[in-house]
Amino acid sequence: SEGMNDPVSIKKIFSQRTIYLRLSLCGLLLLAFIIWTISNKKINFTIDGYRNFSNEPSCVYFNERNDNNDYVINFLQSHGYVCDTGNKYFVSHFSASPRLTIFICGPKTSLKCDSVTYIVDKND
């Protein structure tokens, strides 16, 4: 029991507690940083089967099987679909079909999109 009252032993106990406290604090700070990073990370929402072509507007994603998107780009612009709103437009249109479908996904939505289908005549 004489050794327990020794000032050197007491200093060792306090220094070990200080080290454990500092390590615990560092661990908590690291965990908080990881949670903060994950919560502030922007999710790049896309729909499978759609992609953005490098020569097209950045907010417009086309069905990968579309062969020519010139008509669609002109259609979108003439109907007021612009990238300034923060929306993403996922467009499906095939030259053999009179339908043009647009999925409109807002900047703050993850899985919520509106869709609009137009019956179009490419000869107009």
Domain extent listing, the chain: 3-40, 50-119
HEC string of the chain equals CCHHHCHHHHHHHHHHHHHHHHHHHHHHHHHHHHHHHHHHCCCCCCCCCEECCCCCCCCEEEECCCCCCHHHHHHHHHCCCCHHHCCEEEEEECCCCCEEEEEEECCCCCCCEEEEEEECCCCC
| pLDDT attached to residue 28 | 93
pLDDT for res 31: 93
Tell me what pLDDT residue 52 has: 84
pLDDT of 30: 94
- For the stretch 74-89, pLDDT in tens is 888 889 888 887 788 9
What is the distance between the alpha carbons of residues 101 and 30, in angstroms, rounded to a whole number?
46
- Please say if the pLDDT value at position 116 is more than 80: yes
**What's the predicted TM-score (pTM) here?**
0.59
The pLDDT of residue 1 is above 70: no
Q: Which of 32-36, 44-48, 64-68 has the highest mean pLDDT?
A: 32-36
